Amino acid sequence: MATELEGLRWWETRQAMLQGLVTQSPVTLTIYGPGARLLWANASSVQELGGDLAASLGRSMTELFPGDVLTTEHLASAEDFVQQILETGEPVIDVHFRGRAPADPRREHVWSSSYFRLLDGRGEPVGVCEQSIDVTDHYRAQQRLALLAEAGARIGATLDLSVTAAELAKIVVPQYADAVLVDVAAEVLEGEEPKPVTAWDLVRVADSDGEPSRVGEQVAYATGSSQAESLAGGRATADAVVAPTRLYVPLIVRGTPLGLVTFVRGEDSEPFGDDDRAVAEELASRTAVCMDNARRYRRERTAAFMLQRSLLPRSLPELSAVEAASRYLPADSHLGAGGDWFDVIPLSGARVGLVVGDVVGHGLGAAATMGRLRAMVRTLAELDLAPDELLARLNDQVGKDASDQKVQGSEGSGAVGATCVYGVYDPASRTSTWAAAGHPSPAVVQPHGPVSFLRLPPGPPLGVGRLPYEGAEVTLAAGSLVVLFTDGLVEARGQGIDVGLGRLAAVLGEQRGSSSDLLCAQIVAELVPDHVRDDAALLVVRTRALDARQVAAWELPSDPALVARARSMAAEQLVRWGLDDLAFTTELVVSELVTNAIRHASGPIGLRLIRDRSLICEVSDSQHTSPHARYAGNDEEGGRGLFMVAQLTEHWGTRYMPTGKTIWAEQALPVP
């Protein structure tokens, strides 16, 4: 009797346990029959069904829980899925569904479900039992971590503020929000330092709400609005009027707001919760840092461009030697300002120096180096150095600068890798001399001749060695075209340099009769029609020649008795030119320079007068000794000649040639 009583108690306990499992377990238990139609559900499952079991019985799984199977290893149809388990008897463990429960249609849930076949007493299949656990919170935590990881990898990949805002919108829509609006202070877009932002001083930079046309427009929020409160308080604020389906989060850097991000969820979506707010603040924080980096880069890039523009010639001088035009094309990429430059330098004797150069690299360092190189070239050119000697001295100076930077431990603005081509054209003799330091040779088009490229002796780029530079002399008839350029022009389309040189030659051949300025425009239109991968400089000159009536030249023997004759010939020439007012000064200059040449040199002496935009007097001899002006003492009989020349003329100097030197002096022409 005791044994039977114990068995009854065990049975009652077992039944109570089963009843509690069925009615009180947080795990949902559901039984589906053929066609995946509901046959039975425990209390937890009934609660998810909306509390009405009678209305749910007989309905299919798809009707009750519309959603997508997250794992794709099973049949897509719920009916086929249940039928497969009924037929095979193989259980399926941990299938993840995402969908909306009838009891909570606004919130999307994720369930982890397992399925087992049920058999009756005869071993026949009668249905499939589904055991499900709501893993929504865990799943969302994983999704938030994945979202933040993706944001860290993608936001700020480019140093463009607008692109950064667009990347934020692409990442959060639609898995986190249905739409995103990003507004940034106007001064931040210009690269300026962030200041306290007002709600009416913003610009829309990203809009995923179907209105991309608003990007770039000014945005103003009313005082007292949720947006204004968010900016003023520096914290995330939900919409206070309607359900929190809009979340306003300021973009804050170093305690200062740069702008505002608005996260939007539709009316059918779940409102933002505390966890969502934390994610939004983290996204906004990362975006703000990247935007500030983009702002800093824009400021530096703008400063580099301004520096570069200020260091390039604002206009080219009007000269008798050449008709010149130029173009500078900044790169379209994020690299910033480059180091390409050009210059047209007036020289003594109505000559002109032509130069184009390229500093490797971009940014402030390249722009600063370009300015230093251009200044050094102008300084050396005004010393009347030959092109090969000028490049040699320029190379020495660049090497010293690089060494000084290494000693000081700075990386700075070294010019290692800079290239340059420099030439001097003389309109009186129509000759030109050229030298190159690792730079493409200029193109030349003689009147009625073919297009060609100068064959210059190769020279190393500046700052990479101490190999000698060699010059080459080329005679250029009046009306010849000379085109100097950097490699950014002929490599603009990303093709080989030979292709670009061929296109340049074709344009020059077809448009050779155009003016220098029009030819510049045509070259740019043909070689750089759209984007410039690297900055490019272009200098086009058409040579001119001095008329024979503008130059008077004599060769004199080294005889002191001929000094008076030299003065007389110079005075007679000035009368023919109608420059009688300059006769007295010119006679003094000729007398002093010829006397010095006779006294300190040997061989014949050359005297040349040039009437250009000024009056130029030149005396040449075969010696390379350099005279200098000095103050003579009271008891000295000589030593005042060059000092007097310097006082009477605007400029004077010495230039050297392989055969000797030339001392020149320049006077301004009388005002008509």
Question: Mean pLDDT for each consecutive 10-residue tract of the chain (672 residues)?
Answer: 49 53 71 84 78 78 65 57 83 78 72 84 84 80 80 82 88 87 87 76 82 75 84 78 75 88 83 84 90 86 78 88 92 69 94 94 80 93 93 88 56 64 95 95 94 94 86 95 93 76 93 92 86 84 93 91 92 94 94 89 90 94 73 49 85 88 92 76
Sequence-ordered alpha helix ranges (H) in 528-637: 563-577, 583-600
pTM above 0.85, yes or no: no
Q: Whats the size of the chain, residue-wise?
A: 672
Which distant-in-sequence residues (6+ apart) come within 8 Å of 349 by Cβ?
Answer: 426, 428, 610, 616, 618, 655, 662, 664
pLDDT of residue 210: 60
CA angle 455, 515, 432 (to 5 degrees): 30
State how far the alpha carbon of 406 is from the alpha carbons of 398, 401, 412, 414, in Å. 13, 9, 10, 10
Q: How far is CA 162 from the centre of its chain?
A: 14
Which two tokens mark 332?
A: 């379209």
Which two tokens mark 174?
A: 């639609």
Sequence-ordered alpha helix ranges (H) in 438-562: 487-490, 497-510, 516-527
Distance CA 255, CA 99 (A): 41
HSE-up of 652 (CA within 13 Å, CB side)?
Answer: 23
pLDDT of residue 633: 47
At residue 51, what is the residue type?
Answer: G
Distance CA 27, CA 363 (A): 63
Count of other CB atoms within 10 angstroms of residue 330: 20
Do the Cβ atoms of 540 and 325 come closer than 8 Å? yes
Which two tokens mark 185?
A: 């202070």
Which string of b and e fits 561-595 if b means at least 16 CB within 10 Å? ebbeebbebbbebbeebebeebbebbbbbbbbbbb
Asked if the bond preceding 560 is cis, omega within 30° of 0, the reply is no
Helix (H) or strand (E) holding 23: helix 2-24
Distance CA 84, CA 193 (A): 66
Q: Classify strands 651-657 and 605-611 as parallel, antiparallel or unpaired.
A: unpaired
Do the Cβ atoms of 192 and 161 come closer than 8 Å? no
Q: Classify strands 104-119 and 92-101 as parallel, antiparallel or unpaired.
A: antiparallel
Distance CA 546, CA 478 (A): 9
Which distant-in-sequence residues (6+ apart) come within 8 Å of 559 by Cβ?
Answer: 598
Sequence-ordered alpha helix ranges (H) in 449-513: 487-490, 497-510
Nearest to 302 by CA among 492, 414, 485, 159: 159
pLDDT of residue 68: 53
pLDDT of residue 413: 45
Q: In terms of C-beta density within 10 A (0-12 exposed, 13-18 middle, 19 or more buried), how is residue 116 classed?
A: middle
Q: Say whether 254 sits in a helix, a strand or coil.
A: coil
Which two tokens mark 350?
A: 């109505």
Distance CA 257, CA 197 (A): 6
Q: If phi over 0 gives left and psi between -120 and 50 gives alpha, with beta otherwise, what is residue 503?
A: alpha
Which two tokens mark 10?
A: 């065990």
Distance CA 271, CA 291 (A): 28
Q: In terms of C-beta density within 10 A (0-12 exposed, 13-18 middle, 19 or more buried), how is residue 650 classed?
A: exposed
What's the chain's Rg over C-alpha atoms? 43
pLDDT of residue 212: 58
Distance CA 82, CA 65 (A): 14
Count of other CB atoms within 10 angstroms of residue 137: 11
At residue 437, what is the residue type?
Answer: A
Backbone φ and ψ for 243, nearest 5 degrees, come out as: -55, 145
Q: In terms of C-beta density within 10 A (0-12 exposed, 13-18 middle, 19 or more buried), how is residue 93 classed?
A: exposed
Nearest to 317 by CA among 286, 284, 342: 342
Distance CA 585, CA 595 (A): 15
Sign of CA dihedral 228, 233, 234, 239: negative
Distance CA 612, CA 610 (A): 6
Which two tokens mark 438?
A: 């690792």
DSSP 60: B
DSSP 56: H
Q: How far apart are the first and last CA of the chain?
A: 146
At residue 482, what is the residue type?
Answer: V
pLDDT of residue 243: 55
Helix (H) or strand (E) holding 104: strand 104-119
Distance CA 183, CA 248 (A): 11
Nearest to 198 by CA among 213, 183, 181: 183
pLDDT of residue 207: 87
Count of other CB atoms within 10 angstroms of residue 132: 21
At residue 39, what is the residue type?
Answer: L
Distance CA 405, CA 419 (A): 20
Q: If phi over 0 gives left and psi between -120 and 50 gives alpha, with beta otherwise, what is residue 409?
A: left
Do the Cβ atoms of 351 and 427 come closer than 8 Å? yes
